[in-house]
Each structure stands twice: as structure tokens, then as C-alpha cells.
Amino acid sequence: MIFYELYLRSFYDSNEDGLGDLKGLKEKLDYLVELGVDHVWLLPIMKSPAFHGYTVSNFYEVNPVYGNLNDVKEVLSEGHKKGIKFVLDLPINHVAVTSDWFQKALKGEEPYKDWFVWANEKADLNEKRHWDDSKIWQKIGNKYFYGIFGPASPDLYFERKELWQEIKNIFKFWLDAGFDGFRLDAAKHIFDFDTETMRFKYQHEKNVEFWKEMISFIKSIKNEALVISEVWDAPEIVRKYEGIFDIGFNFPIAEDLKTTLKDENTQRFVETLNKCIPEYLPTGKVFSASGNFLTNHDMTRILSDLKSEEKVKLGFSIIYTLPGIPFIYYGEEIGMKGIPIDVNFTEDSQEPFHWYENGFGLGQTEWKGYKFNPPYSGNSYEEQAKDRNSILNIVKNLIKFRKNNSWIDNAKIDILNFDQNVVKLKVYDQLNEIIAYYNLKSSNSSFFLENGTRLLSIGENIIDGKNLKLAPYGVYVVKHK
């Protein structure tokens, strides 16, 4: 499986209003096929007042700037014909302030008034969330509601079981529309509040109970549906949710890999593998597949972070040669840049996809100015397609390699050796085995090459008889048997 995280507003515009839309995606399905993508993770497309779509005002209605439900069904149908499956991002932890549910709750209407958490005398109105200084209690009129993600996002109160049924109705609606599964936003936040003490508190056991019931329902509608979780936390917390979801995003490996590449530290790379994907080591057991990625819509784009195209290529090479499921965020394949202010202001990592080198043309979205990706910066599809060594063409080669070796998804790894420059890794299952060499340094590294058939070579690597001169940040993969 090869996943592509796609932000519709920034992708391709079919009606010249400057905004990407569903018909635009339909026109560019062949681009995804050309890239090698077979699964698309579509960021929220439901009606929302927010540019990012994560505050939903109506879960059963398509955002009109993107099109309508018929457009959804058409693009999914066409994508399916081309071998592409689609996973919808569903942020059900909270709604928009403009949501009909919340507006009725403000008026005291049943059952909606009980679907949210309201402050009482126990509440500390100055309580702040643990990852920054943002308050968790949000004022509206003369009331305060619990909104862990800010004043635009009233949290739903999932102690109310009738709300569980409403969420099931939402899942069924989008499965019936043709989606092949869901990405579940903020999965650990369904139960993150203690109404006894009126304070923030993760309740992972309750979260697990909720998600087991929801996933059982999803699978009863479409047995082959894929369910992907977002649990952004330390490995010990992520493991509390293993086995519930088909795929769990591996945030620890994303963060550790980027630090490893910046520091060019082979020791840290080995420690990262041991810490972040132990389920794929010889004695490990896989309960949920590891969703491996470098960046997403909440993060600094990879080229802005690493500041080196060669390190970016190395990073993608690692992702596409490790077991688990590889994900790529739209625009990373053409070297787009972007640095969000923080998780509350992510526009700068969601700039329009660059189809043209001058930044403008048919289908080009223009909803946001080019802050990080100005015209003639070399990070357009038009320009990248011409250069065989561009990030785009390297990513294409990596995806082709991975699709030709799809057994890697469920493989095991052995760390065979490492020195100050190179890590040597064995990736294998019962029938297949490859040896991957990763050079984490800016200098060449030479060594004796074991017998085998070359499967992948990234960088200006040189073979001289039995010796391999691995290029700076180069990767070499051989089939061992």
C-alpha cells in the first residue's frame, strides 16, 4: 500500500475559482497513478467554516467549495477504476461553533445540550492544555464550554451513548458514498476529560472501548474498510491502541528520523529502529501496521526541516525500504517548503500544489499566496519532471521499488551492522530477503559488497568489482536470495 495525503483545496482547480475541488481531483487521478499511489488519504471535505476542515459544521454535507455528494461519488468511482482507494479523514472529537448541534445546545435544546461539556463551579477556567499555554475552557456569551483544540472547536461529550449512534450513522453515510475507510483524527481525545474533577485527563481505556465498538460497526458495513488512527504521543501511549486499528501513525519514528538525518547519527538511527518499530524486529509481533511518514499537514515540510534535497531523498529512501505502510504528504514529492506557525496555524504547510514553474496556469489553485514556494523556485511538477535526479523522480523510483516488493509491508528487520557512516539493514520474510545500506554522512563511504542483485540505488553510487562506493546520503539495496 502506498498512501498519499491529499489536501483538496490546494490540489487542482476545475472551475477557475482558485480553490481545489473534487472535479479537479478527478482530472488529476492520472497524476496519482503516474506517481504510483494506490491509496489516497483525503483531508476533511465536510462542510466547515475553517480552511483546513477540521471543525465540521455538518458531517453529512460536502463543503460546497469542493462540490457535492455526486462529485464525491464520481471521483471515488473513477479512482476505483484506476486502482486507487480512498480513506476519508473524519474529525469526530469536536464540531464547529457554527454546527447546528452546538447552536441548538446553546439554546438548551435536547439532546444537543448534553452533547457538550459546560463549566460548573468545579472548573478551573484558567486550566491550560499540557502541550502549550492554550486554555481548555472557551467563553461564548455567558457560558464556558470545554474545547481542548481552541474556541472554534467545542468537544463532544461521548459519555452520552446516543452520540455513539450518531457517529455510527456518519461512518455509514460516507462508506455508502464509496469511501474505503477512515483516518481517525485525535483518536486519543475522545475521552480526555474527567467530569468528576472537571479537569483534563486522558482516559485511554474508555477510548479503546469506544474505538473497538466503532471499528466493529465500520467492518460490519464494509469488511475490507481500512481504519487508520492518529495517536500523537510517546511509543508507550501509542502501544495502548495497538491491535484496534489497521494502521497507526508512527509519530515517534517521524520525529526521530528527522533528528537522525539532521545530526547524521548512525547510532541514533539504530536506536530509533529499536525504539519505534520493535514489532518488526525478529522477536516482535505486529498488531497494527506502522504508518511510516516524515511529515503531515500539522508539521514543517521536510525540505524546510532538513534543508538538503539529498537528505530528503535519504529520508524517503528509508521510509520506502522499512516495513510498515509508507505515507507521503502532497507536495513533498516535488520539494515544496512550508513552516507552520504552530498546530493552530498550519496554512503555511498547506500551500497550493505547484503544477507550473511560474506558479500560475489552468487548474492551479490560488487560495493562498506563495509564502514558501514562490514562482521559479524549482519545486513545481513542471520543473521536477524534467530532472531524473529530482525529488519527484526519486520518489517515483522508490514507490516503484516498493510496489514491486510489497512483501516489505509485513517484513521483519535485522540491524546487521553500523559504523560512523553507514547502517546495514536486513529486511526479510520467509521467502524474500534484501540488504539495505544507508549512508548518513556527507562523505563517500566504501566497503565490500555482498553478492546479490541490485534492486535500488539512490545517489551517485559506484560499483568497482566487489566494492561499493556509497555516495553522500546514498542508499543501495540488493536482493540477497
User: Across-strand partners of 181?
Assistant: 226
* Cα 119 → chain centroid: 34
Distances (CA, A) of 415 to 246, 274, 422, 435: 26, 9, 11, 10
Identify whether the C-beta of residue 231 lies closer than 8 Å to the C-beta of residue 188: yes
| Grid cell at residue 58 | 455538518
* Number of neighbouring beta carbons within 10 Å of residue 254: 22
Instruction: In whole angstroms, give the CA distance from residue 20 to residue 354.
Output: 12
283-305 as b/e: b if 16+ CB within 10 A? eeebebbbbbbbbbbbbbbbbbb
With CA atoms as reference, report the closest residue to 294 among 264, 331, 268. 331
3-state secondary structure of 459: coil
For residue 442, what are the CA distances in angstroms to 91, 127, 269, 476?
A: 42, 47, 16, 16
Q: Phi and psi (nearest 5°) for 432?
A: -130, 155
Q: Nine-digit cell at 341?
A: 506557525
Q: Which of 185, 305, 333, 357 is catalytic?
A: 185
Residue 481 burial (C-beta neighbours within 10 Å; 0-12, 13-18, 19+) = exposed
- Euclidean distance between CA atoms 22 and 8, whole angstroms: 7
CB 322 within 8 A of CB 292: yes
**Strands 181-184 and 85-90: what pairing?**
parallel
Whether 124 sits among the annotated catalytic residues: the reply is no
| Residue 230 annotated to the active site | yes
Catalytic residue among 21, 89, 230, 305: 230
- Opening angle at CA 478, ends 473 and 481, nearest 5: 160
Residue 390's Cβ-count burial label (10 Å; 0-12, 13-18, 19+) is: buried
The three cell numbers locating residue 370: 506563495
Residue where the block lists cell 489516497: 40
CB 66 within 8 A of CB 12: no
Q: Give the C-alpha separation, 346 to 48, whole Å.
A: 16
Q: List residues with catalytic annotation.
A: 185, 230
